[in-house]
Structure 1
Amino acid sequence: MIIRCDNCSVSLQLDEAKVPSGNFTVRCPRCQNMLRANKDANGDVSPTVKQLADNKPAPATPDGSAQFAEKASEFEINSALRSLLAALQSGKELLDKDEDVAAKPRRVLLCLGQKREEIAKILADAGYRVYIADTPAQANERLRDGKTEIVIFSPDFAAEYGGAAIIQQKANAMYSSERRRLYLVSIEDDGTTMNAHDAFLRNLNLIVNSGDIAQLPLILNRALSDYNDLYHYLNQGLGVEPI
């Protein structure tokens, strides 16, 4: 029997004779995630192909797609014009690419419970491209595309799968170079918005109190601006774009 970890995507081959009938759990040897699987009384199992089909990347919301496309197009045109102007200004320093970083169209992955529809609409209206995950597996598949650098999660995300713990575990297991490219935001009822000390201790980038979500675009823009300023010269040296 072959099952696939919905956190790190490793495939595990189990001895069919030792697999109990019905529901059972097994720990992934790579990431220590608890996997839930099923074998019915007839010995039928869910094939790996079916699991791959079920674990599709988190889909994008239809809201805000037009605004995002318009913002992305405008950003690309402005970037091209800035590059052309810089090329024409011989003998002068190149224009700073980070000057218009606030206008950069961004993709955000939501791993939320009760407040996900509200937050999705707020961010879509603000020009973000919003993806919504129902399970940790969908979140993991969406992050594979490498274009989604902002993850917003809450303690009630996919509680039956331990979703919030898996998201935090994934961030904790990243190499520092990978972790710098993932901006992790936690929405909490008891958290203090922009409490940098608490966020640092918990390997988060930003904490937002659920009472402040109406101002989430403003909070994100300011926090991301500070984050990109912090890593400005490192990003420049590595030749990577700011988040």
Structure 2
Amino acid sequence: MIVTCSHCAARLQLDEAKLPSRPFTVRCPKCQQNVNVQPPVLSRVGVQESVSAGPPVRPIPAPAFTLEGQERGRTETLERSTGVSTEELLNALVALVRGEGAQVDFVRRQRARRALLCLEARHRESVARSLAENHYEVYLAADTSQAIERMREDKIDVFVLDVEFDAAEQGAAFLTREIMALRPAERRRLFFVQVSPTVRTADAHAAFLNNANLVVNTADLKDLPSLLDYTIRSFNELYKDYFAALRLAPL
């Protein structure tokens, strides 16, 4: 049986005698992406029928998480109606206190921050709820393919990755390599948070070794919104001149 990879168009030869009876996924040896495979259908006389050739099935991107009774984009509407965000007002106030009022010229954020969560199932909903309540657009990935598709479809600002995510497919290692392969300009626009049960929360040395902006111990996930608020503010301050030169909005 020959399967075509939907990502790089490589052709994979599979042994039909060893195929399971239900749909499954295989990893493409060329691009390392997961490929969904529909096994041949057994006819009534027990003879395998060839699978009809059709367009490859594209993996579903990580779905959005919304709070009950809450409209998505409420923060966007609020910021458009007022013209500035809370973060911009705070930055403007600091600049005025420092005597830099004449030089304040913001490129305003036109939307809420988008956060992609790649966490174990037992942590997903609680962390998603806490971030949504703090005005994030949250997406929950159940596996590696959903995470990849969401990153390709939407610009993600905050990427939260558990080192034990999708362990069967080595999802954490694969997604970390994807981040490390980003161009520097793209990498600066992505705030990478690594979650692990063995790290000390906000350990700058551990974050540097893991190519992350922030490391969080699994036990401290309940504090993620406040940790992000502080570290992203520091990140924006560090790259303030860089963002200003390129007329980029802060993260």
Structure 2: 5+ residue stretches without partners: 43-47, 89-100
> CA RMSD, aligned part only?
3.2
1:211 positional shift:
1.8
TM-score by length of 1: 0.78
Residues 1:93 and 2:88 are matched in the alignment: no
- Residue 115 of structure 1 aligns to a residue whose secondary structure is helix
Alignment correspondent of 1:59:
63
Q: CA 1:119/1:44 → structure 2, altered by over 3 Å: closer, same or farther?
A: farther
> Does the CA contact (< 8 Å) of 2:112 and 2:136 recur in 1?
yes
Q: Distance in 2 between matches of 1:213 and 1:194?
A: 12
Residues 1:109 and 2:116 are matched in the alignment: yes
Q: Distance in 2 between matches of 1:75 and 1:226?
A: 22
Q: CA 1:37/1:69 → structure 2, altered by over 3 Å: closer, same or farther?
A: closer
Structure index of larger Rg: 2
1:20-39: per-residue Cα shift (whole Å, max 9, x none)?
12168554324x45767565
> Does the CA contact (< 8 Å) of 2:33 and 2:145 recur in 1?
no
Alignment correspondent of 2:137:
129
1:219 positional shift:
0.3
Give aligned-pair identity as a percent. 28
Give 1:231's match in structure 2, choosing from 233, 236, 239.
239
Residues 1:216 and 2:224 are matched in the alignment: yes
Q: Which amino acid aligns with 1:110?
A: L
Give 2:8's match in structure 1, choosing from 7, 10, 33.
10
Residues 1:185 and 2:224 are matched in the alignment: no
1:160 positional shift:
1.9
TM-score by length of 2: 0.76
Alignment correspondent of 1:87:
none
> Does the CA contact (< 8 Å) of 2:201 and 2:217 recur in 1?
yes
Q: Which amino acid aligns with 1:237?
A: A
Alignment correspondent of 2:250:
242
1:208 positional shift:
0.8
> Does the CA contact (< 8 Å) of 2:64 and 2:140 recur in 1?
yes
Q: Distance in 2 between matches of 1:231 and 1:48?
A: 48
Task: State how 1:112-191 maps to structure 2 within 5 Å.
Answer: 112-113=119-120, 114-191=122-199
Q: Distance in 2 between matches of 1:19 and 1:192?
A: 45
Residues 1:79 and 2:83 are matched in the alignment: yes
> Does the CA contact (< 8 Å) of 1:28 and 1:34 recur in 2?
no
Structure 1: 5+ residue stretches without partners: 83-91
- Residue 57 of structure 2 aligns to a residue whose secondary structure is helix
Aligned length: 224
Q: CA 1:107/1:25 → structure 2, altered by over 3 Å: closer, same or farther?
A: closer
> Does the CA contact (< 8 Å) of 1:68 and 1:128 recur in 2?
no
1:156 positional shift:
2.5
**Runs of 4+ off more than 6 Å:** none
Q: Distance in 1 between matches of 2:54 and 2:181?
A: 25
Q: Distance in 2 between matches of 1:71 and 1:128?
A: 9
